[in-house]
Amino acid sequence: MKYIDGGVCAAQGFKAAGLHCGVKSHNTDKKDVALIVSDCDCTASAVYTKNVVKAAPLHVTKAHLRNGVARAIIANSGNANACAPNGEESAEKMCGFVADALGIPAENVIVASTGVIGQTINTSVIEAGVPELVKLLDCSRSQDAADAIMTTDTVRKEAAVELEIGGKTVRIGGISKGSGMIHPNMGTMLCFITTDAAISAPMIKAALLETVKVTFNRISVDGDTSTNDMCAVMANGLAGNAEITEQNEDYSIFVNALADLCRTLARRMAADGEGAKHLITCTVSGADSVEKAETIAKSVISSTLTKAAIFGSDANWGRVLCAMGYSGAEFDPETVDVSFKSQAGEIQVCKAGRGLDFDEDQAKKILTEPEIEILITLKEGNSECTCWGCDITYEYIRINGDYRT
């Protein structure tokens, strides 16, 4: 497997476009509607936020994907279409605009939104923009689609991989957005994945569920799970490999590549947390189960005090142990080792649950790097897990203090 260019257009038969339609009426320079289209029908699946309050597009997409088939994705930024008047009607209208322009059933359209909650979305500007979006569709416009779904993101997030399945070249590409309101069990994240692999609807669903569990559900920015989170995948089969209909070797190859791609996108979202200066990677090893290691690592990356310590480049390892202790996982604190690591080096700060004398200046140097690793060893087994988060800064408060206005 290797990384390639192209994002959601890397796979055969996929085109994309992004355009400012006017959803974000105050910012005419920002693209705010994205469209992704396959040349033929795809097997498709999606996963959604576990927040009980779900945005209208999620309900509509879930209904449309009951048959496991899709052809296009339309997504907007600037308005979440969540808890808004006539929300599902508006989401269905967006699907209808695409269906009419492409000559396909509206049920074959996936719809997603992100932005401010509780406000009525202006579907008339989207209706006016869809014909132009269709004209712009091209296999070179993944970046435009990636730009159109950004909200407070500071960097575009897209990636693509190429691999071989059954002697055929298969490609998987994706774009995502996410910077704030991100917490395990989906993050405000949207992710759209395309592939030319031939894979059945039940298997693409299984692959997505397996992948999300070990990638997007292992990141946290601020502890808030959004109303709009969605990750959708479409597979059009144009690579020509024998269709994957069971969990065999071809399935494993596909899932491993899909997970690698999504892990890359997940890390980029964590690194681009609102106002963040540091990506935090926490690895818990020596656990007696992956589940325990994951529970502890999630607790550490979600800890506000740990985030604040990393922001201040303060090797305050006590905050790490504190977050471990309230994680809900059972472990022996007397066996825990903790180290901090970055490109500037590695320093152990805790051994067998007790503090060590360490060079504070060296620790400070290590913690000023853009990516900080928190390495935790439990010494009770062979299982491990890595999760990703970011520090919390003054800028996070500024961004969210007036997000709506």
**How do the residues of the chain divide into helix, strand and coil, expressed in percent and rounded to 5?**
35, 30, 35
Which residues make Cβ contacts (< 8 Å) with residue 59, sequence separation at least 6?
A: 88, 91
C-alpha of 218 from chain center:
10
DSSP type of residue 333 = G
**CA torsion angle 92 98 102 108 (round to 10):** -40
Distance CA 390, CA 377 (A): 21
| Burial status of residue 166 (CB atoms within 10 A of its CB: 0-12, 13-18, 19 or more) | middle
DSSP 7: G
Rounded Cα gap, residues 37 and 96, in angstroms:
14
Which residue do the tokens 């290691």 mark? 293
Residues 6+ apart with CB under 8 A from 402: none
* Assigned token pair, 15: 């085109």
Sequence-distant (6+) residues with CB within 8 A of 67 are 107, 201
Q: Residue 177: enclosing H or E segment and its boundaries? A: strand 168-177
Query: What is the DSSP code string of 372-385?
Result: EEEEEE-SS-SEEE
Supply the DSSP symbol for 199.
B
Backbone phi, then psi, for 235, in 5-degree steps?
-125, 120
**Catalytic residue among 49, 114, 188, 295, which?**
188
SS3 395: helix
* Gap between the Cα atoms of 19 and 34, Å rounded: 7
DSSP-assigned letters across all residues of 77-127: ESB---S-TTHHHHHHHHHHHHHHHHTS-GGGEEEEEES-TTS---HHHHH
Q: Is 195 a catalytic residue?
A: no
Are residues 139 and 125 in contact, defined by beta-carbon separation less than 8 angstroms?
no
Residues annotated as part of the active site: 188
